[in-house]
Structure 1
Amino acid sequence: MTSPRSKAIAIGPEEDRKLVKAIERGGAVSTPLSDASALIWSAGPSDFPASLPDGVRWVQLPSAGVESWFDARAFEAHPSVEFTSAAGAFAATVAEHALALLLAGVRALPEHLQARSWEQEHLIGRVGTLRGATVTIVGAGGIGRALIPMLAALGAEVVAVNRSGRPVPGAIRTLPVSALDEVWSNTDHVVVAAPATPATRHLVGSAELARLPRHSWVVNVARGSLVDTDALVEALRTESIAGAGLDVTDPEPLPDGHPLWRLTNAIITPHDSNPTVLRENAYAEHVAANVARFVAGEALIARVDPTQGY
């Protein structure tokens, strides 16, 4: 039987009407933290309480990536609390952005947008298609699973790479991350959507870029640290790959005057694949689903595993 306290959930650092309604849709009520069994958080780790009441058993975090929470040692400080991230909540929106970056690159839209004349014969060799192409998604979690049917609709085939190698629906092949070395010479394009951990830093570096075909586009919608920026700049400058679509960079924000800004084969968006209004609504839906599971005593969505780093 559900106890009254399991239906008492706090919101922090400030009450948010969308989250209040999400909690209610999940079958619980919002309450002060002192009386709560769970906490729905809507800010970063810098404002997070140094200690939590003994009754708090679960904390919902607002971001899909949780590396900043590891940096703040939040999980170490609260070892008895189950944390969940927002992984998967924003998948469709980010996948849509990844597709836009990739398709824009393959179809040479940056060059077309800069043109001031109908005479653009020099672009003929740059315009390609995703039909018949192989796209490898490195980190085929929620974003990758949302992206696969979008790519399939355009006639592309997908190779999925995940930690376990467990088959991903819609992918023609799924590889464990331990077999990632097989990918680079056997794909047309790469979408990076893996979590940021010490193990994934510079997952795409000079050696990997050198093995990609010259027509390849690399799209990063994960975290900037997964791609070696200096190596990418060199690959773009020498045109050893066709281009890169980046919604995230390292460093971030990308400083004015950085070499990436001067490269016409780099498409850069300011980490807005998940804009505020869409993010708020998607987070509220994620909260409602997890609250319903919490109240029912079921396994929560997107549980953070401190041993894996995400």
Structure 2
Amino acid sequence: MSTLRVAVEPVPDEHLVGAVAETGGSVVPLDQARVLVWVGGPDGFPDLPDTVEWVALSTAGIEGFVDAGVLDDTRIWTNASGFYAAGVAEHALAMLLGGTRQIVRSAKTRWAKDLVDPAVRTLRGSTVAIIGAGGIGRELTPLLKACGATVLAVNRSGRPVDGADITMAADRTDEALAASDHIVLAAPDTPETRHMIDDRTLAMLKPHSWIVNVARGPLIDEAALYRALTSGVIGGAALDVTDPEPPAVDHPLFDLDNVVITPHVANPAGRLTAEMAPHLAENLRRFTAGEELLALVRAGQGY
């Protein structure tokens, strides 16, 4: 059996080069490769030689590649969907607890006990909906269950999510919002999900509800979110993503004591390739064995 030839571009990252070596492959220039591991965005994406049969993207979101017309139907494409799920789930839980336990408001005020104390809530006995319950949802579910929450998972198909108390198909999202105390957004950015959280859907939530977004900024209409936050329609918002990124320095959401915004660090860049490496190694093994790859891109669905 010939050695699998893999290009790691635009920079031969040590973790990904190590994954190639671990599976018996060799790192070669792009014009000699059967596989391209692309550690970057759509800008600067190279023209692919006919020898490349599979492109492994290092990002979970592919909307930029779709918009740039990079994807084709002549070769296999994978993204990193699910590869970073454990870290993103941990971040989502931290943000939700920071909101419900009023850590966010406490950090933005000075010993405002009369304001903070009545608003402190527990996840025990609450219902948390995960909208877009794929890899992140599977990792987040046991964390929420350990905190005593009931987990309501929403995914495209309605296929049961391991550990979730209830799973609903995406066409029942309104029902899930109305039944939940808190919401975690983990869905891809597609035409169907853009501004899925707007004035109408925010009105379905509860005055104590926190909404956490660790997915994509365009899922939320931020003007509608601001209205809901300042009028008491919901309790708070924790955002690791915004639209656009970065937000303007004078964005009004920064001024609210029931909002926390982290700078898209649920999956920190410094750990990206280390987190991706074991999944790449498994996919290289599968490719060599002729098995179906993990995280196959479905360009027609936008992810």
Q: What TM-score bracket applies, with the shorter chain setting the length?
A: over 0.9
Partner of 2:29: 32
Partner of 1:199: 192
Partner of 1:298: 291
Q: Which whole-Å CA distance do the structure 1 matches of 2:190 and 2:256 have between them?
A: 28
Cα RMSD between the aligned structures? 1.2
Partner of 1:45: 42
Q: 1:72 aligns with which of 68, 71, 90?
A: 68
Verify: 1:276 aligned to 2:269, yes or no.
yes
How many residues matched? 303
User: CA offsets per residue over residues 43-94 of structure 1, 9 Å max, x none?
Assistant: 11111113x111211000010111111111111xx32011100011100000
Q: Supply the AA of the counterpart residue of 2:249.
A: D
Q: Supply the AA of the counterpart residue of 1:68.
A: G
Q: Which whole-Å CA distance do the structure 2 matches of 1:115 and 1:65 have between them?
A: 36
Q: Give the structure-1-normalised TM-score.
A: 0.95
For structure 1, the 5+ residue unaligned runs are none
Q: Which whole-Å CA distance do the structure 2 matches of 1:276 and 1:106 have between them?
A: 28
User: CA offsets per residue over residues 212-259 of structure 1, 9 Å max, x none?
Assistant: 011100000000000111100100011210000000011211111111
Q: Which whole-Å CA distance do the structure 2 matches of 1:179 and 1:122 have between them?
A: 35
Verify: 1:108 aligned to 2:102, yes or no.
yes
2:40 is paired with a residue whose SS is: coil
Q: 1:245 aligns with which of 216, 238, 247?
A: 238
Q: Supply the AA of the counterpart residue of 1:151.
A: L
Runs of 4+ in 1 over 4 A off after TM superposition: none
Q: Is the 8 A contact 1:27 1:291 kept in 2?
A: no
Q: CA deviation at 1:165?
A: 0.3
Of residues 231-240 and 269-278 in structure 1, the stretch that sits farther from structure 2 once superposed is 269-278
Q: Which whole-Å CA distance do the structure 1 matches of 2:24 and 2:181 have between them?
A: 47
Verify: 1:234 aligned to 2:224, yes or no.
no
Of residues 279-288 and 144-153 in structure 1, the stretch that sits farther from structure 2 once superposed is 279-288
Q: CA deviation at 1:115?
A: 4.2
| Identity within the alignment, % | 49
Of residues 168-177 and 178-187 in structure 1, the stretch that sits farther from structure 2 once superposed is 178-187
Q: Is the 8 A contact 2:99 2:105 kept in 1?
A: no
Q: Supply the AA of the counterpart residue of 1:106.
A: T
Q: Is the 8 A contact 1:133 1:155 kept in 2?
A: yes
Verify: 1:183 aligned to 2:212, yes or no.
no
User: CA offsets per residue over residues 8-47 of structure 1, 9 Å max, x none?
Assistant: 1111112222211111112311112122111011111111
Verify: 1:168 aligned to 2:190, yes or no.
no
Q: Give the structure-2-normalised TM-score.
A: 0.97
Q: CA deviation at 1:111?
A: 2.3
